[in-house]
Amino acid sequence: MGSTQSDSFPKMQQELFQPYRRLIEIQIEDQSHRVPDNNMVLRCFQYICLEDISCGRFCWNQECKTCMIGYELKSGEKKNTLSCQTMVSEGMKITKISKELRWALRSILPAAAENLS
């Protein structure tokens, strides 16, 4: 299970994330993580890896396209999209991650440095 670094700085958490009621489970390349509902996927990645995502080269407004992901929903629907523009949903499975995101998530994806694609 993924650890949440944000537990150590609740005030910053309030400023970065949209208000949320609960943590929901998502999968990132077969690893389970709990993230806040009512937030964009990129913000949820930031919840998991605060410093690494914060230092990444992401514009947060769909211009740079460096936050591309592929995902599958519980319904079986599959999509490729920008994580900065996609709301997280319970049971979402992130199956593809852009090179820039993979680098920023390297602390939770052990093979990330080896498999930059």
pLDDT digits (tens, 9 = 90+) for 39-95: 999 999 999 998 888 888 888 888 899 999 999 998 999 999 999 999 999 999 999
Q: What is the pLDDT of residue 96?
A: 96
Supply the pTM of this predicted model: 0.80
Average pLDDT over residues 99-107: 93
Q: What is the pLDDT of residue 53?
A: 84
Residue with tokens 């995902």: 71
Helix H or strand E segment including 100: helix 99-104
Q: What is the pLDDT of residue 13?
A: 56
Q: Locate 6 and state its tokens.
A: 């944000």
Average pLDDT over residues 97-107: 94
Q: What's the CATH number of domain 7-104, 3.10.20.30, 2.60.40.180, 3.40.50.720, 3.40.50.300?
A: 3.10.20.30
pLDDT digits (tens, 9 = 90+) for 1-36: 443 434 444 555 567 878 888 999 999 998 999 999
Write out the DSSP string of 7-59: GG-HHHHHHHS---S-EEEEEETTEEEEEESSSBHHHHHHHHSHHHHHTS---
Residue 114: pLDDT band (50, 70, 90) is low
Instruction: Supply the mean pLDDT for the chain.
Output: 84
Q: What is the pLDDT of residue 88?
A: 97
